[in-house]
Structure 1
Amino acid sequence: MSDNNQKNYRELHKPRTAFASREEYLEHELSIMAPRRWGINLPLRDYRFELEDWVPAMAATIGKIVMVAAVVAAFAAPLGLSSEFVIENARYEMLIAAILFVVLFSGFLNPNANLAGTHGPLIPLIPLIVASGGHPMALGIMVGVLGFALGMLKGGSLLARLTSDGVCGGLLLYLGFIGVTSQIKSLFAWADGFDMGYLAFVIVFATIVMYAYLEHIRMRWLAIPLGAIMAAVIAFALGAPFEFSTEPGIPNLNPAYWWGENTGWQLGLPELHHFIAVAPFAVLAVAMWSPDFLGHRIFQELNYPPKAKKVLMNIDDTMCIAAARQVVGTALGGGNLTSSWGTYMVPAAIAKRPIPAGALLTGLLCVVAAIWGYPMDLAIWPPVLSVALLVGVYLPLLEAGMQMTREGKTSQSAAIVIFSSALVNPVFGWSLTMLLDNLGIIGDKARGQSLSRRDRWVIPGITFLILCGVMAAIGMFPGIPALLESFRSLAN
């Protein structure tokens, strides 16, 4: 065993002045870290804080405010709950995430687990969940239980291993392109709302120039804070309307209030029929985790040095912690639906920083934003929000997808992923293309022949059939009525 393998992080650490560039210093830090999995990890002893850690922390906080508010609002609208309820519950969720999970787990106990974030792809289905008789608490508990089972059985890492670079690259390209177009559309819709459509063009054009220049000088990790500040300054200077409305305060911390029959959600506790109603959606939500978690780990691998294996995200541990966060958050009264925190992991990978230091700063910023109130208004202001997501998440996803699909064999699989995802959704595209790719019908045929029968078609085939059954049941196939609704009609 070499001397380096016997030394700990503190002994292997070198000052910044010992390296020719900042990038070399950060890559050396990543290569010498050896986080304790399910042990106590401490600053200075196991990792250090760097200026770059503020970038993912800021991006993650902005993303958390936006995404949690979007999930709660999606529940609140069909339930007839007010916008004040949405802000109050979002603030409560941020405190739960920051204090109980971001700081405790990703910061200290398991720095190989990504932060537990928000399940954005499920937001469009929430009105359908409510219309089907679903209950937020029933859905949250089922997602948590199923996710914990998948993590404990190491199903997440298994599915990640069975997903080729072509399939994963195609997913990143699809998600990146859809994200870019949606944010640009939402920015123009915001500007057109007060007859200043040109403002959106100016902001997006300035963002393109800024991002290209940061790429040129190899400082892309600054894109989020600089982009958010630039967008806010341009919007203010050109007269875009904005006002602070969320005042400082602490949300109600009593779970009984949130799950009361006449307070909070005004739904009371769920009954058996509520769990039955949300079961298909819970299965689909957890199925969406695997490609999501895989994409975040791949993004680390593309940006970290080859020797930094010990700081890579553990998919199964992340699933277990996300599932635990889901159950606890739901039981306490929160409305968030959990997944891997993409608005943290993507900027952290770009900035070449490991999980723990930025996690602690994220927890701090989330607590400050939730209690102070005013930062929540600024974070969800369309120019700040859209630019932060564009340069911090979606453009990097496009770049990573292109990097993974350079070869002809991988581009075949990538094209099929994009095609089938556009037909239904990314879960359908991922599961179908993974099956075709492992069978050797598309992509690298030699790779398919090297797999065992179980890995080649049994597991991918079962995964595809189960997901298709769930999606057919809740009506996610275009032009095909939901099977559950058909069965209810026949029963009546």
Structure 2
Amino acid sequence: MSVQHNSPYQRQHRPRQQFSDRKAYLEHELQAMAPRRWRPNLPLRDYRFEWEDLVPATAATIGKIVMVAAIVAAFAGPLGLSDAFVIENVRFEMLIAAVLFVILVSGFLNPVANLAGTHGPLIPLIPLIVAAGGHPMALGIMIGVLGFLLGITKGGSLLAKLTSNGVCGGLLLYLGFIGLQAQIKHLFSWANGFDMGYLAFVIILAVIILYAYLEHLQKRWLAIPLGAALAALLAWAFGAPFAFQTEPGIPNLNPAFWWGEETGWQLGLPNVQHFLAVAPFAVLAVAMWSPDFLGHRVFQQLNYPAKSERVLMNIDDTMCAAATRQVTGSLLGGGNIASSWGTYIIPAAIAKRPIPAGAVLTGLLCIVAALWGYPMDLAVWPPVLSVALMVGVFIPLLEAGMQMTREGKTTQSAAIVIFSSALVNPVFGWSLTVLLDNLGIIGCKERGKDLGHLGRWIVPGVVFVVLCAVMAAIGMFPGIPALLSAFRIEL
């Protein structure tokens, strides 16, 4: 047997010339792949690189810089750390993610584990974590341990199985709309900062027209690079302020520096009190993983062709990878909080590309950006940042949510999850609606009959009660004081 026929993928791969168009070729590639979980996967033997892989890689790199900077800055502000510290830690985090996990895990060892990205929904809670006496390393270790336990017990896939299309679709609609609205406000706030509010309107209108035209051409996977480039060119043409400030260099790679008492975070190593302070937040962070990971897998399902189930993201494997990355990054000195990498997997699904090839390119781009420095300035420039997130993440989420709520009684569940998410947050909305939906109170009454007692009310009920207890303890219910604060006062 010749070398070129020694793997299932090589036996099924066919040259591009044998297909009528590019789309048919890419869809066949998804069907031909046979990923090897937690075993070596090699280019050409198990997958190929295509130029479409540059799209999710570029989007992921932009998103990584932005999201990690937001996480680290949220910690640095209350701790009194400088902007220079934030940039240095972000560059360090990008090297950790790229070398140890993006390339090694998702690129070679497990092509169905999505890249370990950043936990954006937790950003608003970080000031509360610091105020409660939390420590970044303690938080990271607890999130990692809890997430790994959920992954190896297959708890993530169980929760995904118990979530109906109506609940998932409503969640995607809510997250897409809220995210889109936030980025529009952010762009107008930026433009108004130098008395050119009309510039934000011009940029958004131009991007809408571009996105609609790409939809017409069925090339919307090009929306991120073309949209970001268009936004940058318009902002530059109108004279918006911009300057490259981050110079090339290698960040400090010594964990002792980052966790010193007078260097890096200036906090030293965590103690027992630090772990107790972050425990409720760690539980909540891991609970947020399930709806987030589920949404990413569903988005793949909606964009991939039939018979491509083998390349779909494995929720439990992704949880294990994200948890391991979280513990490693925290021990080394990073401030990132890990989750499934949305700014990678969503553009990759639109471009009809599997995880591994784009993961390798993402890792390489992250290394270049971290060492070169200047690309980081461009990626966090508001017109580039906001447009990339709008066309690459939030508009596709809206489209996927609408597609999932078109049939049956899914609209009932979708409406309730949006309503309850608006009341508290997406974790509350998801857990409450899954319970109501599986009990048959809303949605399809027949669906709950096939789940058994465990799936109908035991697991959803326990999850809902535990999450409500955690949210009540840290004060996430509107108008209700944090129970932990009241308990401390009494003590």
User: Which residue of the partner structure matches residue 368 of structure 2?
Assistant: 368
- Matched with 2:265 is 265
How much has 1:407 moved relative to structure 2? 2.0
1:222, 1:270 → 2: CA distance?
45
CA distance in 1, matches of 2:490, 2:40: 57
One-letter amino acid of the counterpart of residue 320, structure 1: C
1:268 to 1:13, Cα distance in 2 relative to 1, 3 A: same
Alignment of 1:74-473 (within 5 A): 74-473=74-473
SS at match of 1:445: coil
Q: Aligned partners of 2:407 and 2:323: how far apart in 1?
A: 36
CA distance, structure 1, for counterparts of residue 280 and residue 466 of structure 2: 10
Per-residue deviation, residues 244-270 of structure 1 (Å, max 9, x unmatched): 000000000000000000000000000
CA distance in 1, matches of 2:440, 2:189: 44
Cα offsets for 1:112-168 (capped at 9, x unmatched):
100000000000000000000000000000000000000011000000000000000
1:294-348 alpha-carbon deviations (Å, 9 max, x no partner): 0000000000011101000000000001000000000000000000000000000
Q: What SS does the corresponding residue of 1:70 show, helix, strand or coil?
A: helix
Equivalent position amino acid for 2:289 in 1: W
Measure the CA separation in 1 of the matches of 2:322 and 2:6. Answer: 33
C-alpha deviations, 1:13-35, integer Å up to 9, x for none? 11111111110000000001001
* Distance of 1:198 and 1:85 partners within structure 2: 34
User: Paired residue for 2:27?
Assistant: 27
* Cα deviation code 1:17-54 (max 9, x no counterpart): 11111100000000010011111100001000001000
Displacement after TM superposition at 1:408 (Å): 4.4
Q: Which residue of 2 aligns with 1:17?
A: 17
The code of the aligned residue for 1:135 comes to: H
**Displacement of 1:451:** 1.5
14-23 vs 388-397, which moves further: 14-23
1:145-202 residue CA offsets vs partner (Å, 9 max, x unmatched): 0000000110000000000000000000000000110000000000000000000000
Structure 1: how far apart are the matches of 2:407 and 2:315? 26
What's the offset of the Cα at 1:392? 0.3
Amino acid across the alignment from 1:404: M
Q: Paired residue for 1:487? A: 487
Please list the CA deviations of residues 35-90 of structure 1 after superposition, one character each: whole Å capped at 9, or x if unmatched: 11111100001000001000000000000000000000000000000000000000
TM-score of the two chains, using structure 2 as the length reference: 0.99
CA distance in 1, matches of 2:274, 2:77: 19
| Deviation digits for residues 352-411 of structure 1 (CA, Å, limit 9, x no counterpart) | 000000000000000000000000000000000000000000000000000000024001
User: How big is the shift at 1:7?
Assistant: 6.6
Structure 1 segments unaligned to the other structure (5+ residues): none
User: 8 Å contact 2:67–2:120 — kept in the other structure?
Assistant: yes
Q: For 2:488 and 2:377, how far apart are their aligned partners in 1?
A: 43
Q: Distance in 1 between matches of 2:25 and 2:387?
A: 29
Q: Distance in 1 between matches of 2:271 and 2:406?
A: 51
Counterpart for residue 478 of structure 1: 478
**In terms of mean alpha carbon deviation, does 257-266 or 399-408 score higher?**
399-408
Take 1:236 and 1:7, find their aligned partners in 2: how far apart are those partners?
Answer: 50
Match of 1:65 in 2: 65
Q: Distance in 2 between matches of 1:423 and 1:270?
A: 35
Partner of 1:41: 41
Once structures 1 and 2 are overlaid, which stretch shifts more, 467-476 or 8-17?
8-17
Matched AA of 1:311: V
Q: Say if 2:7 and 2:46, in contact at 8 Å, map to a contact too.
A: no
Q: Show CA shifts across 1:462-481 (max 9, x none).
A: 00000000000000000000
Contact 2:7–2:45 (8 Å) recurs in 1: no
Gaps of 5+ in 2: none
Q: Distance in 2 between matches of 1:288 and 1:13?
A: 38
- Mapped to 1, the partners of 2:21 and 2:349 lie a distance apart of 18
> TM-score w.r.t. structure 1 length?
0.98
Of the structure 1 ranges 6-15 and 384-393, higher mean CA displacement relative to structure 2 is found in: 6-15
- Rounded to whole Å, the distance in 1 between the matches of 2:407 and 2:50 is 36
Partners in 2 of 1:306 and 1:255 — Cα distance? 46
The answer as to whether partners of 2:250 and 2:371 remain within 8 angstroms in 1 is yes
Distance in 2 separating the partners of 1:489 and 1:279:
19
Shift of 1:293: 0.3
| Contact 2:55–2:222 (Cα < 8 Å) also in 1 | yes
1:130 aligned partner, one-letter code: V
Letter in 1 for 2:288: M
Distance 1:19 1:154 in 2: 39
Distance of aligned partners of 1:148 and 1:87 in 2 relative to their CA distance in 1, 3 Å threshold: same
CA distance in 2, matches of 1:426, 1:306: 30
